[in-house]
């Protein structure tokens, strides 16, 4: 493979990961940075989107394409997909339709997980909330591993290849789809923050007591925030499954809760632009470090992936101590396009 | 009866501390009255109980003919009673203008569904912005429209508090020490404007205030509290010269 | 369902859980932060025992005093290197929590590296390993049962004596109740916090050191237990430190005995879902008895 091809592949891969994380981080920022809800359990929504897409997509594809079979979509996953994928490959429009459907499933699943999370979220103080949501996140993995009919247990399942029609350009098409959704999400978040709804959410974050004295139904607003944020995380989980083509019950707290927090911390909490910058900087650095990390393989008596943990934990602590406001310093002035009339 | 607000035998204790020990008072419509009393006499607790931030242990509260005992702060606000806080409480990262806009009641743009379609809330927003701008002009804060509230001085924050209350188009304003920390000239201006608002719109003000030197000449009635009870209520000269009041408030 | 092994299992688990929860509650009372790093405190201690037993061929219980010191120091490290600088900058509770989470991640890396090291350099298995075979038996039951319960009793008594009969303990309690007043009368609150971190680390160390004698360990053992630890702490109520013991007992009961009962009724497959138990208990507690067993307001409305 030529150097240029390698570069293009590297960049495409990077952009895909960037897009997925951006969607999640916008969702997280909406909850933490804008509304002040420390959701340490976004894994719950991401995994929800991923697992439900994984579990339901093949079923839906079967019935929508009108394929008759006695095979189980989960337990006989490979054989069933052998029936489905060729159809999708030759009919791009249907494939894209399915893609949108699966995305919707992911969003609904994410919202459902968000709804469950919101029960404690509107009642508990920050610290208790964090612990509770953290614990919630683990549940889906337990169910995913233990309950085979969901996504086939530990080995997981594959999903219908909604990008198969792109042939050898499958991953490029995937990255494009991811970026499009990410851009839409980013645009929406920017719009939301300028609406009265966005303003009230920020007010609740800044001073809940006063917001109450002004008649705001705190429970309702926090729930709305969590629902939107979780739906976005559900989208991300679903998209990631479609992009990778498969899902396994191994969505870890490290990847889908800790790292997003680190990214928005890096960029600066409360600002969508901060989330964008933090996500990009992190993903780019991580991918670059990955290449050089493998130079150490064999030299060190341990798996190099643990260096990641050391490095990232350390960076987080350094940011928290020395630059808690993040790279993009926007706390001074948040976007406020409300213009006074003269 | 005609009273706008009636507080009847309200009691509220915190453990062994009897913050409110059977308070009964009335506020007449379109009046400007103040509540005075030494520190710890229960003034802020009374405001808290009326506005729903704390529940009374005993007693009842009426707003017009409706009983509002035990209502939540949201319900009280919806009924037309606005309050300010003794310690200015801002939405720190929001601008001064935004601080006022949040106070706007029933804004369609706050609903998720409606927020998606700008056309459904743009007009209401524009109207709210205009109202807020006028209020800020009244308070002399026009040049700080887009300043984040956390950057304001203490006195300016007090003014924003008042401005936020005024956004609510309430009938009854409960102000908790609205001019503490504000320079005397501005304090006089504020009270003068309160009087004007009463003249123009028939708004009722019930103000907790220490600065008798400033407030006294503007008010219709004075209520004096001590140790959780009402000592005296009536026109200023009467209450100020009441021996019980002198002993409790001004005496050692 | 076999009666005795279930009871043994319950008491052993509860004893260990209570020790760990004691530390969490203590830290919450002093530093006002939920310590996510407690997970790695426990894991490090578990590997101290494992390493000293397998590599240095010592009695497994020797790990307890070593881990007490080591993890106590680890707690001090987390406090002085990370939390104290942040406290001085008035960081919010959420930031402090993230800091403990980050520290936990670092230690997760360290313990994994250590486990790999044992594998590659010393050629011993280091994941999913169990030391219960080296345990002594007393009255037909595994020694760990008695040691765990005994340690819990000993530590609780020691804490009680410390907090009520020593100058240090009284100063510590004062710092918990009213930090600003304590500061004003000359108590070095910062040092009191440090002491609490040492003690909490020590407690986690003692509990973690005993774990390899009870269940399989791997570098993720602490993370697995974390939800249960927090649950025990919260259910016990955070007002009283000893609530953690109650919480540990209750959670252990529901978890071990409850799951066992359920399995005998619906079938063994239910044990797959056992990790959900602490969460259910936590949720029920929040709704039914928000003050926990010992009582503390932690809802948003006051």
Closest Cβ–Cβ partner in B97, B121, B130 for A196: B121
pLDDT at C132 over 90: no
* Alpha carbons A17 and A178: distance in angstroms, whole number: 9
Closest Cβ–Cβ partner in B74, B98, B112 for A197: B112
Average pLDDT over residues B5-20: 88
Which of A191, A192, A196, A341 should be substituted to probe chain B, the one whose Cβ sees the most B Cβ atoms within 10 Å?
A196
* Alpha carbons A33 and C92: distance in angstroms, whole number: 13
Nearest CA to CA, how far is C138 from chain A (Å)?
36
Closest CA to A342 of B143, B164, B139, B121: B143
Chunked mean pLDDT (size 10), chain A, 342 residues: 81 93 96 89 92 89 80 80 83 87 94 86 72 79 82 84 83 92 96 94 93 90 94 96 90 88 88 90 84 71 81 90 77 47 38
Closest Cβ–Cβ partner in A136, A310, A320 for C98: A320
Nearest CA to CA, how far is C174 from chain A (Å)?
23
Contact A128 C298 (CB under 8 A): yes
Q: Which chains touch B (3 or more CB pairs under 8 A)?
A: A
Closest Cβ–Cβ partner in B89, B91, B129 for A340: B129
Nearest CA to CA, how far is B252 from chain A (Å)?
36
- Least CA distance to B48: which residue of chain A? A213
Contact A339 B77 (CB under 8 A): no
The number of C-beta contacts closer than 8 angstroms across A and B is 108
* Alpha carbons B33 and B174: distance in angstroms, whole number: 10
Nearest CA to CA, how far is A37 from chain B (Å)?
16
Beta strands in chain C (DSSP E): 137-138, 141-142
* Alpha carbons A238 and A24: distance in angstroms, whole number: 11
Closest CA to C72 of C191, C211, C164, C206: C206
Contact A336 B97 (CB under 8 A): yes
β partners of residue B25: B7
pLDDT at A27 (0 to 100): 96
DSSP conformation class of A70? S
Which of A128, A217, A249 should be substituted to probe chain C, the one whose Cβ sees the most C Cβ atoms within 10 Å?
A128
The answer to whether the beta carbons of residues C117 and A302 sit under 8 Å apart is: yes
Structure tokens that stand for C188 in this block: 């070095």
Angle between helices A42-64 and A126-146 (to 10 degrees): 40
* Alpha carbons B87 and B102: distance in angstroms, whole number: 19
Contact C286 A127 (CB under 8 A): no
3-state secondary structure B116-164: CCHHHCHHHHHHHHHHHHHHHHHCCCHHHCCCEHHHCCHHHHHHHHHHH
Contact A135 C282 (CB under 8 A): yes
Nearest CA to CA, how far is A181 from chain C (Å)?
29
> Residue C276: its chain A contacts at CB < 8 A?
139, 142-143
Closest Cβ–Cβ partner in C93, C105, C299 for A124: C299
The answer to whether the beta carbons of residues A293 and A302 sit under 8 Å apart is: no
The answer to whether the beta carbons of residues B82 and B170 sit under 8 Å apart is: yes
* Alpha carbons A215 and A129: distance in angstroms, whole number: 24
Q: What is the dihedral of CA A128, A133, A134, A139, to 10 degrees?
A: 140
Closest Cβ–Cβ partner in C86, C116, C278 for A301: C116
Instruction: Identify the band that residue C293 occupies on the pLDDT scale cut at 50, 70 and 90.
Output: low
Helix (H, G, I), strand (E, B) or coil at C142: strand
Contact C106 A314 (CB under 8 A): yes
The answer to whether the beta carbons of residues A240 and A171 sit under 8 Å apart is: no
> Residue A334: its chain B contacts at CB < 8 A?
93-94, 148
The answer to whether the beta carbons of residues A252 and A128 sit under 8 Å apart is: no
pLDDT at C302 (0 to 100): 36
Contact A202 B93 (CB under 8 A): yes
Is residue C58 classed exposed, middle or buried when 0-12, 13-18 and 19+ CB atoms within 10 A define those classes? middle
- Is the CB of C120 inside 8 Å of chain A's CB atoms? yes
Contact A338 B97 (CB under 8 A): yes
pLDDT at B18 over 90: no
Which of A190, A338, A339, A342 should be substituted to probe chain B, the one whose Cβ sees the most B Cβ atoms within 10 Å?
A338
Closest CA to A51 of A248, A254, A255: A248
Q: Which residues contact A163 (CB under 8 A, 6 or more apart)?
A: A95, A99, A170, A171, A173, A174, A177, A242, A243
Which C-chain residues 155-214 have CB contacts (< 8 A) with chain A?
none
Closest Cβ–Cβ partner in B105, B132, B148 for A333: B148
pLDDT at A341 (0 to 100): 40
Q: Which residues contact B54 (CB under 8 A, 6 or more apart)?
A: B12, B45, B48
pLDDT at A342 (0 to 100): 35
Structure tokens that stand for A5 in this block: 């091809």
- CA A10 from chain center: how many Å? 21
* Alpha carbons C13 and C215: distance in angstroms, whole number: 10
Beta strands in chain A (DSSP E): 157-158, 246-247
Nearest CA to CA, how far is B93 from chain A (Å)?
7
Helix (H, G, I), strand (E, B) or coil at A249: coil
HSE, CB side, 13 Å, CA atoms: give it for residue C57.
0
Structure tokens that stand for C191 in this block: 């040092």
Nearest CA to CA, how far is A35 from chain B (Å)?
12
Which of A28, A135, A222 should be substituted to probe chain C, the one whose Cβ sees the most C Cβ atoms within 10 Å?
A135
Closest Cβ–Cβ partner in A192, A203, A217 for B74: A217
- Is the CB of C276 inside 8 Å of chain A's CB atoms? yes
Contact A196 B110 (CB under 8 A): yes
Helix (H, G, I), strand (E, B) or coil at C61: helix
* Alpha carbons C298 and A202: distance in angstroms, whole number: 23
Instruction: Identify the band that residue C290 occupies on the pLDDT scale cut at 50, 70 and 90.
Output: low
Contact C105 A127 (CB under 8 A): no
Structure tokens that stand for A104 in this block: 């919707």
pLDDT at C182 over 80: yes
Nearest CA to CA, how far is C245 from chain A (Å)?
19
pLDDT at C16 over 80: yes
Structure tokens that stand for C199 in this block: 């003690």
Contact C99 A136 (CB under 8 A): no
List C-alpha distances in Å: B26 to A279, B29, B234, C62.
59, 10, 10, 75
Contact B168 A211 (CB under 8 A): no
List, as own/partner pairs, every contact residues C4-10 make where C-beta atoms lie below 8 angstroms and the sequence separation is at least 24, other chains included. Answer: C4/C141, C6/C256, C6/C257, C6/C260, C7/C257, C8/C141, C8/C142, C8/C145, C9/C256, C9/C260, C10/C252, C10/C253, C10/C256, C10/C257
Contact A215 B97 (CB under 8 A): no
* Alpha carbons B60 and C149: distance in angstroms, whole number: 55
pLDDT at C291 (0 to 100): 59
pLDDT at C294 (0 to 100): 56
Contact A213 B77 (CB under 8 A): yes
B140: left (phi over 0), alpha (psi -120 to 50) or beta: left
- Least CA distance to B164: which residue of chain A? A214
Q: Which chains touch C (3 or more CB pairs under 8 A)?
A: A
Closest CA to A27 of A283, A233, A257, A334: A233
Average pLDDT over residues C265-281: 79
Q: What is the dihedral of CA C238, C241, C242, C248, to 10 degrees?
A: 60
The answer to whether the beta carbons of residues C205 and C67 sit under 8 Å apart is: yes
pLDDT at C267 (0 to 100): 80
Closest Cβ–Cβ partner in A195, A213, A334 for B115: A195
Contact B101 A206 (CB under 8 A): no
- CA C234 from chain center: how many Å? 13
Q: Which residues contact C57 (CB under 8 A, 6 or more apart)?
A: none
Got the DSSP string for chain B?
A: ---SEEEEEEEEEETTEEEEEEEEEEE-TT-EEEEE--TTSSHHHHHHHHTTSS--SEEEEEETTEE-TT--HHHHHHHTEEE--SS----TTSBHHHHHHHT-TT-GGGSHHHHTSGGGTHHHHHHHHHHHHHHHHHTT-GGGTTSBGGGS-HHHHHHHHHHHHHHTT-SEEEEESTTTTS-HHHHHHHHHHHHHHHHHH--EEEEE-S-HHHHGGG-SEEEEEETTEEEEEESHHHHHT-HHHIIIII--
Q: What is the dihedral of CA A120, A123, A129, A131, to 10 degrees?
A: -60
pLDDT at C268 (0 to 100): 79
Highest mean pLDDT among A194-203, B129-138, C167-176: A194-203
- Least CA distance to B135: which residue of chain A? A340
Nearest CA to CA, how far is A268 from chain C (Å)?
13
Got the DSSP string for A101-158?
A: HHHHHHHHHHHHHHHHHHHHHTTB-HHHHHHHHHHHHHHHHHHHHH-HHHH-STT-EE
> Residue A200: its chain B contacts at CB < 8 A?
102, 110
Average pLDDT over chain C reads 86
The answer to whether the beta carbons of residues A185 and A26 sit under 8 Å apart is: yes
Nearest CA to CA, how far is B243 from chain A (Å)?
37
- Least CA distance to A201: which residue of chain B? B110
The answer to whether the beta carbons of residues A88 and A165 sit under 8 Å apart is: yes
Q: Which residues contact A11 (CB under 8 A, 6 or more apart)?
A: none
List C-alpha distances in Å: C109 to A308, A314, C106, C113.
8, 11, 5, 6
Contact C34 A312 (CB under 8 A): no
- CA C43 from chain center: how many Å? 10
Contact C273 A145 (CB under 8 A): no
């Amino acid at each position: 493979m030529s150097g240029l091809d390698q570069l293009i592949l590297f960049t495409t891969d990077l952009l895909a990961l960037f897009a997925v994380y951006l969607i999640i981080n916008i969702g997280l920022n909406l909850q933490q940075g804008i509304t002040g809800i420390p959701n340490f359990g976004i894994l719950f929504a991401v995994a929800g989107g991923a697992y439900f897409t994984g579990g339901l997509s093949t079923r839906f594809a079967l019935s929508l394409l009108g394929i008759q079979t006695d095979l189980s979509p989960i337990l006989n996953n490979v054989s069933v997909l052998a029936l489905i994928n060729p159809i999708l490959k030759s009919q791009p429009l249907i494939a894209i339709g399915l893609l949108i459907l699966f995305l919707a499933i992911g969003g609904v699943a994410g919202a459902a997980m968000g709804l469950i999370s919101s029960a404690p979220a509107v009642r508990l103080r920050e610290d208790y909330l964090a612990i509770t949501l953290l614990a919630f996140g683990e549940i889906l993995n337990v169910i995913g591993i233990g309950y085979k009919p969901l996504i086939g247990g530990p080995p997981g399942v594959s999903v219908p290849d909604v990008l198969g029609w792109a042939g050898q350009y499958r991953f490029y098409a995937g990255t494009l789809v991811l970026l499009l959704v990410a851009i839409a999400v980013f645009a929406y978040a920017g719009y939301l923050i300028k609406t009265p709804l966005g303003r009230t959410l920020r007010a609740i974050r800044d001073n809940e007591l006063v917001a109450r004295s002004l008649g705001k139904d705190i429970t309702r607003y926090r729930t709305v925030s969590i629902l939107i944020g979780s739906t976005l995380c559900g989208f991300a989980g679903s998209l990631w499954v479609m992009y990778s083509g498969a899902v396994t019950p191994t969505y870890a707290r490290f990847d889908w809760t800790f790292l997003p927090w680190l990214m928005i911390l890096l960029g600066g909490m409360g600002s969508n632009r901060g989330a964008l910058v933090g996500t990009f900087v992190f993903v780019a650095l991580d991918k670059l470090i990955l290449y050089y990390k493998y130079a150490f393989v064999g030299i060190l008596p341990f798996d190099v992936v643990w260096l990641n943990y050391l490095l990232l934990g350390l960076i987080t602590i350094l940011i928290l101590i020395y630059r808690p406001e993040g790279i993009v310093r926007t706390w001074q002035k948040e976007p406020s396009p409300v213009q006074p009339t003269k | 009866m005609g009273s706008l607000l009636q507080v009847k035998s309200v009691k509220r204790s915190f453990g062994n501390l009897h913050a409110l020990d059977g308070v009964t008072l009335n506020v007449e419509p379109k009046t400007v009255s103040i509540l005075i009393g030494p520190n710890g006499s229960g003034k802020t607790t009374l405001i808290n109980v009326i506005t729903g931030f704390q529940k009374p242990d005993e007693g009842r509260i009426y707003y017009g003919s409706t009983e509002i005992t035990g209502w939540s702060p949201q319900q009280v606000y919806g009924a037309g009673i606005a309050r300010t806080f003794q310690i200015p409480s801002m939405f720190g990262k929001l601008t001064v203008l935004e601080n006022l806009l949040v106070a706007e009641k029933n804004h369609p743009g706050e609903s998720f569904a409606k927020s998606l379609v700008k056309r459904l809330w743009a007009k209401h927003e524009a109207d709210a912005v205009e109202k807020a701008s006028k209020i800020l002009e009244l308070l002399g804060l026009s040049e700080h429209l887009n300043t984040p509230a956390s950057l304001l001085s203490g006195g300016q924050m007090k003014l924003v508090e008042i401005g936020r209350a005024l956004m609510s188009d309430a009938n009854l304003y409960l102000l908790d020490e609205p001019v503490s920390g504000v320079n005397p000239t501005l304090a006089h201006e504020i009270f003068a404007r309160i009087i004007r608002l009463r003249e123009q719109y028939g708004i009722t003000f019930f103000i907790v205030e220490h600065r008798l030197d400033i407030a006294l000449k503007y008010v219709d009635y004075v209520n004096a509290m001590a140790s959780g009870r009402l000592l005296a209520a009536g026109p200023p000269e009467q209450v100020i010269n009441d021996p019980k009041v002198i002993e409790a408030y001004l005496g050692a | 369902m076999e009666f005795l092994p279930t009871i043994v299992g319950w008491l052993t688990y509860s004893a260990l859980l209570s020790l760990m929860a004691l530390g969490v509650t203590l830290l919450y009372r002093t530093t006002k932060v939920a310590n996510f790093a407690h997970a790695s405190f426990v894991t490090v201690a578990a590997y101290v025992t494992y390493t000293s037993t397998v590599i240095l061929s010592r009695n497994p219980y020797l790990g307890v005093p070593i881990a007490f010191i080591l993890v106590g120091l680890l707690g001090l490290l987390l406090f002085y290197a990370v939390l104290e600088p942040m406290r001085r900058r008035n960081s919010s509770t959420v930031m402090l929590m993230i800091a403990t989470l980050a520290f936990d991640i670092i230690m997760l890396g360290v313990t994994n590296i250590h486990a790999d090291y044992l594998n590659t350099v010393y050629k011993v298995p280091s994941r999913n390993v169990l030391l219960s075979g080296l345990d002594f038996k007393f009255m037909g039951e595994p020694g760990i049962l008695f040691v765990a319960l005994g340690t819990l009793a000993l530590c609780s008594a020691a804490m009680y004596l410390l907090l009520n009969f020593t100058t240090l303990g009284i100063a510590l309690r004062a710092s918990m109740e009213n930090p600003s007043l304590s500061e004003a009368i000359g108590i070095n609150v910062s040092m009191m916090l440090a002491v609490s971190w040492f003690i909490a680390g020590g407690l986690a160390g003692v509990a973690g050191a005993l774990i390899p004698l009870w269940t399989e360990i791997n570098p993720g053992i602490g993370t697995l237990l974390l939800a249960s630890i927090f649950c025990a702490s919260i259910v016990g109520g955070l007002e009283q430190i000893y609530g953690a013991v109650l919480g540990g007992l209750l959670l252990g009961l529901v978890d071990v005995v409850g799951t066992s009962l359920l399995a005998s009724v619906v079938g063994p497959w239910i044990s797959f879902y056992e990790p959900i138990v602490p969460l259910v208990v936590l949720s029920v507690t929040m709704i039914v008895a928000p003050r926990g067993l010992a009582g503390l307001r932690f809802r948003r409305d006051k």
